[in-house]
Amino acid sequence: MPRVDDYKKALELGQEEIRNHNPLHLCRLSGAQFVENKNGSALIKIMFLNRMVTISWPDITFTQESNEEMPIKEKILILHYLNRAKNEELTGQLIAYQEIPSARFYLSSFNARSKDPFVNAFGENPDKLPGIAEELFSAKGASLGDVSVTVNAFPKVPVTFVLWRGDEEFPSNGTILFDSSIKNELLSAEDISELVSMIVYPLIGRAKKS
């Protein structure tokens, strides 16, 4: 398990890398917004899990609308996304986690941390999912399975959650899918697993209260 020092080092590396990029170019590639100030500094504004996050340039500090301090894992993910942004559009073709390069090494962890808890929380009552996902993440309905929604985790990273109802023969089941463009190293398999857990656990938490 990574230590706090490991996360701090990863954040520092991400900050150093992004300073070596043209921020306007990064915004055009990633779907973020670029705001230039008169003093030569700038702001990068990006939607992340239905929240507007602002990154100051060139000091690379993070703020969000709630004014709450962002967890370091979220900062690292945002930097990884911006640093790896490419000039390509979504394909509309969906793939499973194991189809992402190197994901097989994290598949058991992904299933244990995200997929299985998601199915366990919503499988018996899939109709809860759309309302909760819309409330938390402005999710949109999808046309897969019996119930499905798509969360735009980043401007170019939609994540689709699918559920199938159980019956007398088969238990309820579900899956989590990604646009195939994510295979082009937009995020690493480890980053994707971390990102999905940031969606799944708020969904589960809200489901327990409803």
Query: What does the pLDDT profile of the chain (210 residues) look like in tens digits?
Result: 567 789 999 999 999 999 999 999 999 999 999 998 878 789 999 999 999 999 999 999 999 988 889 999 999 999 999 999 988 889 999 999 999 988 989 999 999 999 999 999 999 999 999 999 999 999 999 999 999 999 999 999 999 999 999 888 889 999 999 999 999 888 999 999 999 999 999 999 999 987
Q: How far apart are CA 45 and CA 59, in angstroms?
A: 14
Q: What pLDDT score was predicted for residue 167?
A: 83
Question: Contact 106/189 with Cβ under 8 angstroms?
Answer: yes
Phi, psi of 33 (to 5 degrees): -105, 145
Q: How far apart are CA 69 and CA 12, in angstroms?
A: 17
- The Cα-based distances of 80 to 17, 61, 85 in angstroms read 9, 15, 8
Q: What pLDDT score was predicted for residue 80?
A: 97
- Sequence-distant (≥ 6) Cβ neighbours of residue 31 within 8 angstroms: 46, 47, 85, 154, 155, 156
Report the SS3 class of residue 58.
coil
Q: What pLDDT score was predicted for residue 56?
A: 95
- Sequence-distant (≥ 6) Cβ neighbours of residue 22 within 8 angstroms: none
pTM above 0.85, yes or no: yes
Nearest to 85 by CA among 119, 56, 46: 46
Structure letter (DSSP) for residue 111: I
Structure letter (DSSP) for residue 98: G
Q: What pLDDT score was predicted for residue 166?
A: 87
Q: What pLDDT score was predicted for residue 68?
A: 87
Q: What pLDDT score was predicted for residue 185?
A: 84
Q: What pLDDT score was predicted for residue 88?
A: 81
* Total length of the chain: 210
Structure letter (DSSP) for residue 171: -
